[in-house]
Structure 1
């Protein structure tokens, strides 16, 4: 699919990086698109993912531009890591928190430096009439966005011929991290977040996502 729902929100997530931030952690980094954008802002980025294949692809994609700042990629399960206390100025989870117990957000909170920010771009299942209303609203927008991106990609690489048997340099970009359907509803997420991340803000987004922002007030 040419249109990536998570990539669509990168700019929104980057706007949450606190001024003066120096360190970042990207949880469930996949092939590293967002981690590389964080590194491009001058942050020292630790990027972790439990999938070895996607981490290998992330490293390969970073190696294509040796002059660009690269995240420190690591194959790891965040639920099994001992994260540094009060260290990261920015922590991001893009469509990954539903792959683990939501209580993991407590460990991420404890790893935030004073003034640090945790952002979660999360997925949730449609259960209520409001969920379904947002889902229905997203369908036509999604179709238009997919068509627009497909046309743009076709115009960008006209006349692409058949493969000559050599490795396609874009193969790494086609690798995607393992996915799982979300099971925790948005009302449940709000309740758990209220206890783990007091004062956090949660709002629905199109494309079956929500945005959670938590600031670790010094």
Structure 2
């Protein structure tokens, strides 16, 4: 079924974009759906992903809309790619931080311009009773949302723009409690909010604004 849990939270993430944002970085961009949404706001977007296939598809999909500002897609691994210091007003990382060491967030932190915002839509495994309670709460909502999105796709296939290339899947292993502890050290002052659909939202604002 076509319901994408990450796409569901795009609007929430876009609300975290700071005013007068000029530059953004999308880490683990996949086929670039969120990157293109940022670019449509008039933001200069760099988008990176370690998958050559995903980047090729992202470029092809972006080339379909002539006249629109397109992200700059780069085949790169965030754990090895040297990011410019204090450069980006907004950095996003959607369901990809669990594909890399968590301390990669330190490099993302250092790439933020003064007052810039880092948002991570992350995944976590169910380890505690509270985790399982949230998981159970998501099941009926998920069951309703999937067929609803399927109907929308059938009625408006061009609008949904389903991609042919799928991002690699890796199960998260770091529990949410550990994520909170490590984030408190690497991203002091950050907030972490538990979401439905087995996700959390981490928000961090860089200093010096």
Aligned to 2:201: 211
Give 3-state SS (helix, strand or coil) of 1:91's partner. strand
The structural deviation recorded for 1:174 is 2.6
SS at structure 2 position matched to 1:147: helix
Determine which of 182, 195, 198 is the counterpart of 2:172: 182
Secondary structure of the residue that 1:30 maps to in structure 2? Answer: coil
Q: CA deviation at 1:66?
A: 1.7
| CA offsets 1:166-216 (integer angstroms, 9 cap, x no match) | xxxx99713111111000000000000000000000010000000000001
**Separation in 2, partners of 1:70, 1:153:** 24
Question: 1 CA distance for matches of 2:11 and 2:35?
Answer: 13
1:137 equivalent to 2:127? Answer: no
Q: Which residue of 2 aligns with 1:49?
A: 49
Aligned residues: 206
Task: Provide the C-alpha distance between the structure 2 equivalents of 1:214 and 1:156, rounded to a whole number of angstroms.
Answer: 36
The residue aligned with 1:197 is: 187
Classify the secondary structure of the residue corresponding to 2:163. Answer: helix
Cross-structure match for 1:91: 91
Residue aligned with 1:173, SS: coil
Structure 1 CA distance, aligned partners of 2:161 and 2:152?
19
Cα deviation digits, residues 143-167 of structure 1 (max 9, x gap): 100011112222336xxxxxxxxxx
Task: Calculate the TM-score normalised by the size of structure 1.
Answer: 0.92
Q: What SS does structure 2 have at the residue aligned with 1:82?
A: coil
Unaligned 5+ runs, structure 2: none
User: Quick one: distance in 2 between partners of 1:4 and 1:171?
Assistant: 13
Looking at CA atoms only, which structure, 1 or 2, has the larger radius of gyration? 1
User: What RMSD, in angstroms, separates the aligned Cα atoms of the two structures?
Assistant: 1.3
Which residue is 1:16 aligned to? 16
Give 1:67 shift.
1.2
5+ long unaligned stretches in structure 1: 158-169
| Counterpart in the other structure of 1:119 | 119
Partner-residue secondary structure (3-state), 2:141: helix
Normalising by structure 2, we get a TM-score of 0.96
Distance in 2, matches of 1:117 and 1:173, equals 28
